[in-house]
Amino acid sequence: MGSVATTSTMFKKSREDHMKRMLMLFVLLPVCSCTAINVKPLAINANDNIACIKENPKVKVPRFLDIVVNGFEEHDFTTRVYQNTPNNSCDLLVTYTATRNWDVSPYMTDAEIWVKDRSGKRVGYGQYHLKGGGGLALNKWASTESKMEQVFTELFAKH
C-alpha cells in the first residue's frame, strides 16, 4: 500500500511540475523578443560616400530622420537632407518610412530604409518589424535608436 501511495504522490508531483512548466511557457512566450530584422547590406563603390536622405514628413516617430542621418554618418558618410529634388552630388539616395503604435506611451513598430544609387538601382535595404505590434513584449518600448542599431550594423556590414 505504501508503494502505491508513493507512486500516486510521484505522479501528482510530476503532473504539477508539468503544469507549472506549461504555465511558465505561456507567461514568458509573449515577453520574448518578437522582432524581425530584414537587411540587404549596401553593395556600393568605395567612393560612394555622399548619402542624400529624403525627408519624409509623414513619419511621426520622434527624431527618426536624425537617427537615419546619424546611422549613415557613424559609417563615414556625408549626409544631406532634401525635401523635393536631391542635389546632383549625391552618390546614394535614401528614403525611409516608420510607424508607431500606442500602449501607455508611443513606440516604434516598423521602419524601412531604401538606398538607391544615382541610376535608381536599389543597392541596400533595411527593415525593422515588431511582430504583432509588440503584444505583451516589454522590448516594444525600447528606444528607436536601439531598435535601429542592428539594422544599421547589418546594412553597413560590407562597407
pLDDT tens for residues 68-122?
999 999 999 999 999 999 989 999 999 999 999 988 889 999 999 999 999 999 9
Q: Work out the number of other CB atoms within 10 angstroms of the CB of residue 103.
A: 12
pLDDT score of 28 more than 50: no
∠ CA(138), CA(144), CA(148), 5° rounding? 105
Residue 126, classed as helix, strand or coil, is strand
- How many angstroms separate the CA atoms of 127 and 111, rounded? 6
Higher pLDDT, 25 or 6: 6
Task: State how far Cα 55 lies from the chain centre.
Answer: 20
- How many angstroms separate the CA atoms of 121 and 52, rounded? 15
Q: Which pLDDT score is estimated for 3?
A: 52
- How many angstroms separate the CA atoms of 108 and 130, rounded? 8
Q: Are 103 and 134 in contact (CB under 8 A)?
A: yes
pLDDT score of 32 more than 70: no
Complete domains list, the chain, with CATH: 29-155 (3.30.160)
pLDDT score of 159 more than 50: yes
**Residue type present at position 18:** H
Strands (E), the chain: 35-40, 50-54, 78-82, 92-103, 105-117, 122-130
In percent, the amount of the chain with pLDDT more than 90 equals: 63
25 — pLDDT class (breaks 50, 70, 90):
very low
Q: Work out the number of other CB atoms within 10 angstroms of the CB of residue 137.
A: 19
